[in-house]
């Protein structure tokens, strides 16, 4: 008896690590001094930090790929409601939910015993009693956790012979302009409710009624209002919440998935570009604890539209008889060279959406090619941001004031910001990758545009004297690196192949050099 | 290197050749007598007279429609996915609410549904994969066209009134 009491006192006081983005909380003064405790999972011992749950240990060591789960998400608090992640713990009378059971020293866990598999089959059968068989029209099909886990654990047949439950009012309900709810498909994992409660802290969603009639509803009449609605549709394990922009556009198994960076703001969220035949269909965030966690904002998610814009300039354009005409890069650069030679003052303006490599190239190689004293400066022009010092967080999660991805990286080159945001020289080369703003200019200013431009943008420019447009690559089409708002340098590779006539900055400089 | 000899030994009857020639001549003579003396025909006058094929014959595709002439296809892309010849091309979108009395059952529709009959190998996998029995193969084998473009059939053509192979006309 006294032994047990001693054990109780010695037990270190440890809080549960609710989500993976929190470090383990040690109330023990010297955790390093002791060897780490070990838990045995499927016959093998694994070290863990006190406070880890069984799920987190299994996740870290990738035991059997993963323990199946619906309600657990590493970025959100633990609910333990779906019962899919149950495992067998020796000496425990019942199966334990691995997402909410803290691992203990010397604990012996079986994740694939007969008892566990039988339980998962039962859970799957219950989840499928009311799930409609509409995978052919459901956008989640192909990346659906219900499909995957049912294939792996589920029963082939159901004992449910009765009529399925149908929510008449919520079969196709628009929760907002961006998200559609189909309540019939919902498995009540409540990830979405916990996301709005604990991640965005907007409390947009709530489950009303109980049991059979449990239904997801928006708390206000305006519906969903938070800026991270796309994340709801990412982590929804079934097709209950779907993203209208992607809804019915493409089946998920046709998409090729390549990692890249979002260039919508100075945060630099890590994304996966989902494309088919080099046409982008959506951006999906990928987990990076240092930058964006698991999330990504809606404006960043929609930012691919500007690169897939049919009016984007994808071949070199040159002014001829007062109008812009498509031409070859050699003709264009020969003309540009002549114009630059005649100009009394030349200025290069680098948009803060250029990669660090492009900024270095424009600062060092291009002035040498022009052969004159050229003023080089950078320009941001989004949301009233001039330098990186003006940048600030707009909410508690990811959104930043600066809407260009590389202000810090361009500043690193030792350049000065464009004075008053106004271009002044005779001929100005403005390099921009589709995100930086438009500087102030006079109506007859001679300008050479370089990078990602659309015809709408060119038409709306104050200057009507555009000499040439050198079409360039967008972030998802080029390689390079950005330095984000927190000073983290992130490299990226092309996610899709550019199918138009645009050239990378290095290719253009290469052609320019071959002409001289 | 081991070599396996698979050539068989000929029998004396086979080596003589003559019995085989006589068997062949007998068939030729039989067909000659049938055709020449008894006027039995082995060909048909094709465009006027048509050959009936087996019910299992796989001809040109069609898409089934419901009584309101709405296609049963929900643009699930399963036929496009399984097609080994890559001849089906679908573009999907949401059906407008005013034209959709079926609600969630037909909320997704094919905006365009093209079958390139020149690429098609008539394997019938699309028919098997279809969860809505929307795409079917008919008994129609008359697929001659005068240009390649004409062999790409669109949704309006595929929705024409057709009978399936198993259904009697």
Burial classification of residue B139, based on how many CB atoms lie within 10 Å of its CB (0-12 exposed, 13-18 middle, 19 or more buried): buried
CA-CA distance, A24 to A46, in Å (whole number)?
A: 17
The percent of residues above 70 in pLDDT, for chain A, comes to: 93
At residue B166 the predicted structure's pLDDT band, cuts being 50, 70 and 90, is low
Residue count of chain B: 169
Sheet holding A44-47, edge to edge: A44-47, A38-41, A108-110, A86-89, A96-97
**Residue A167 in contact with residue A215, Cβ under 8 Å?**
yes
First to last CA, chain B: 61
Helices of type H across A317-397: 329-342, 356-370
Q: What is the mean pLDDT of chain A?
A: 87
Residue count of chain A: 516
Residues whose CB falls within 8 Å of the CB of residue A199, separated by 6 or more in sequence, listed in order: A75, A76, A228, A231, A295, A397
Residue A491: what pLDDT?
Answer: 92
Do the first three CATH levels of A13-112 and A317-515 match, i.e. the same topology? no
CA-CA distance, A404 to A385, in Å (whole number)?
A: 10
**B100-128: average pLDDT:** 89
Residue B98: what pLDDT?
Answer: 80
- Strand-pair category, A427-433 with A346-351: parallel
**Tens digits of per-residue pLDDT, A315-334?**
999 988 888 899 999 999 99
- Asked if the model's pLDDT at residue A21 lies above 60, the reply is no
- Asked if the model's pLDDT at residue A456 lies above 70, the reply is yes
Residue A17: what pLDDT?
Answer: 45
Domains of chain B with bracketed CATH: 61-158 (3.30.70.3270)
Domain assignments of chain A as residue spans, ordered by start: 13-112, 134-307, 317-515
Q: B76 vs A136: CB contact, 8 Å cut-off? A: yes
The CATH number corresponding to A317-515 among 1.10.287, 1.25.40, 3.40.50, 3.30.70 equals 3.40.50
**A165-182: average pLDDT:** 89
CA dihedral B131, B134, B138, B144 (to 10 degrees): -120
Q: What is the architecture, at CATH level 2, of domain A13-112?
A: Roll (3.10)
Quick one: which of A320, A167, A330 has its CA closest to A240? A167
Predicted model pTM = 0.83
Mutate: best of A140, A173, A251, A281, partner B, most B CBs <10 A: A251
Q: How far is B137 from chain A (nearest CA, A)?
A: 20
**Tens digits of per-residue pLDDT, A399-436?**
899 899 999 989 888 888 888 878 888 888 999 998 88
Quick one: which of A505, A311, A302, A288 has its CA closest to A403? A302
**Tens digits of per-residue pLDDT, A116-131?**
999 999 999 999 998 9
Q: How far is B77 from chain A (nearest CA, A)?
A: 7
Mutate: best of A136, A139, A140, A250, partner B, most B CBs <10 A: A136
CA-CA distance, A402 to A394, in Å (whole number)?
A: 10
ipTM, two decimals: 0.76
Residues whose CB falls within 8 Å of the CB of residue A41, separated by 6 or more in sequence, listed in order: A54, A57, A58, A61, A63, A109, A110, A111
CATH number for the region A134-307 comes to 3.30.70.20
Nearest CA in chain B to A172: B104
Residue A476: what pLDDT?
Answer: 92
Q: B104 vs A251: CB contact, 8 Å cut-off? A: no
- If one counts every other C-beta atom within 10 angstroms of the C-beta of residue A469, the result is 23
More confident residue, A213 or B165: A213
Q: How far is B67 from chain A (nearest CA, A)?
A: 21
CA-CA distance, B19 to B12, in Å (whole number)?
A: 11
Residue A30: what pLDDT?
Answer: 57
- If one counts every other C-beta atom within 10 angstroms of the C-beta of residue A392, the result is 12
**Residue B74 in contact with residue B96, Cβ under 8 Å?**
no
The percent of residues above 90 in pLDDT, for chain B, comes to: 44
At residue A229 the predicted structure's pLDDT band, cuts being 50, 70 and 90, is very high
Q: A182 vs B81: CB contact, 8 Å cut-off? A: no
Residues whose CB falls within 8 Å of the CB of residue A185, separated by 6 or more in sequence, listed in order: A131, A132, A134, A138, A140, A238, A239, A240
CA-CA distance, A366 to A346, in Å (whole number)?
A: 11
**Residue B97 in contact with residue B19, Cβ under 8 Å?**
no
- Asked if the model's pLDDT at residue A136 lies above 70, the reply is yes
Q: B132 vs A136: CB contact, 8 Å cut-off? A: yes
């Amino acid at each position: 008896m006294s032994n047990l009491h001693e054990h109780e006192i010695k037990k270190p006081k440890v809080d549960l690590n609710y989500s993976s983005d929190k470090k383990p909380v040690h109330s023990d003064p010297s955790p390093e001094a002791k060897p780490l405790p070990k838990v045995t999972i499927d016959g093998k011992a694994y070290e863990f930090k006190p406070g880890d749950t069984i799920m987190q240990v299994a996740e870290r060591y990738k035991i059997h790929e993963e323990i199946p789960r619906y309600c657990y998400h590493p970025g959100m608090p633990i609910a333990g409601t779906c019962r899919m992640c149950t495992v067998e713990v020796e000496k425990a009378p019942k199966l334990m939910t691995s997402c909410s059971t803290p691992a203990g020293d010397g604990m012996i866990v079986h994740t694939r015993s007969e008892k566990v598999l039988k339980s998962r089959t039962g859970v799957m059968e219950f989840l499928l009693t009311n799930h409609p068989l509409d995978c052919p029209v459901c956008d989640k099909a192909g990346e659906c956790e219900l499909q995957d886990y049912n294939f792996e654990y589920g029963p082939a047949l159901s004992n449910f012979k009765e009529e399925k439950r149908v929510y008449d009012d919520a079969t196709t309900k628009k929760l907002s302009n961006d998200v559609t709810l189909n309540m019939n498909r919902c498995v009540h994992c409540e990830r979405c409710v916990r996301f709005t409660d604990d991640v965005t802290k907007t409390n947009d969603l709530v489950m009303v009624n109980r049991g059979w009639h449990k239904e997801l509803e928006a708390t206000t009449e305006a519906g969903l209002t938070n800026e991270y609605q796309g994340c709801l549709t990412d982590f929804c394990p079934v097709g209950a919440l779907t993203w209208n922009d992607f809804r019915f556009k493409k089946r998920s198994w046709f998409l090729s998935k390549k990692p890249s960076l979002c260039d919508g703001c100075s945060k630099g969220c890590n994304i996966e570009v989902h494309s088919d035949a080099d046409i982008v269909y959506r951006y999906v965030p990928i987990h990076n604890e240092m930058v964006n966690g698991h999330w990504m904002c809606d404006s960043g998610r929609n930012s691919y539209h500007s690169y897939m814009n049919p009016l984007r300039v994808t071949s070199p354009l040159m002014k001829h008889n007062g109008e812009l005409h498509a031409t070859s890069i050699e003709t264009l650069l020969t003309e540009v060279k002549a114009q630059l030679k005649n100009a009394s003052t030349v200025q290069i303006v680098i948009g803060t959406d250029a990669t660090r490599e492009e900024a270095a190239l424009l600062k060092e190689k291009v002035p040498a090619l022009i052969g004159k004293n050229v003023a080089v400066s950078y320009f941001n022009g989004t949301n009233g941001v001039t330098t990186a010092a003006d940048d600030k967080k707009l909410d508690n999660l990811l959104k930043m004031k600066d809407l260009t991805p590389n202000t810090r990286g361009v500043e690193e080159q030792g350049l000065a910001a464009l004075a008053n945001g106004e271009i002044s020289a005779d001929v100005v080369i403005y390099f921009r990758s589709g995100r930086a703003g438009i500087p102030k200019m006079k109506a007859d200013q001679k300008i050479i545009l370089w990078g990602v431009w659309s015809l709408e943008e060119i038409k709306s420019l104050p200057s009507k004297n555009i000499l040439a447009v050198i079409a360039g690559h967008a972030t998802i089409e080029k390689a390079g690196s950005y330095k984000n708002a927190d000073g983290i340098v992130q490299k990226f590779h092309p996610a899709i192949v550019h199918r138009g006539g645009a050239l990378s900055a290095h290719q253009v400089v290469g052609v320019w050099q071959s002409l001289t | 290197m081991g070599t396996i000899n698979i050539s068989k030994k000929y029998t004396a009857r086979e080596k003589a050749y003559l019995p085989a020639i006589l068997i062949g001549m007998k068939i030729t003579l039989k067909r000659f007598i049938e055709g020449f003396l008894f006027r039995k025909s082995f060909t048909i006058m094709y465009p006027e007279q048509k050959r009936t094929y087996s019910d299992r014959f796989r001809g040109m595709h069609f898409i089934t429609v419901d009584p309101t002439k709405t296609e049963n296809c929900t643009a699930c892309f399963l036929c496009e996915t399984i097609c080994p010849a890559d001849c089906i091309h679908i573009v999907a979108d949401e059906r407008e609410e005013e034209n959709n009395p079926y609600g969630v059952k037909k909320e997704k529709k094919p905006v365009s549904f093209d079958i390139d009959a020149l690429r098609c190998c008539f394997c019938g996998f699309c028919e098997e994969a279809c969860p809505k029995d929307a795409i079917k193969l008919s008994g129609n084998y008359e697929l001659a066209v005068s240009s390649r473009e004409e062999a790409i059939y669109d949704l309006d053509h595929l929705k024409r009134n057709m009978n399936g192979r198993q259904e009697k006309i």
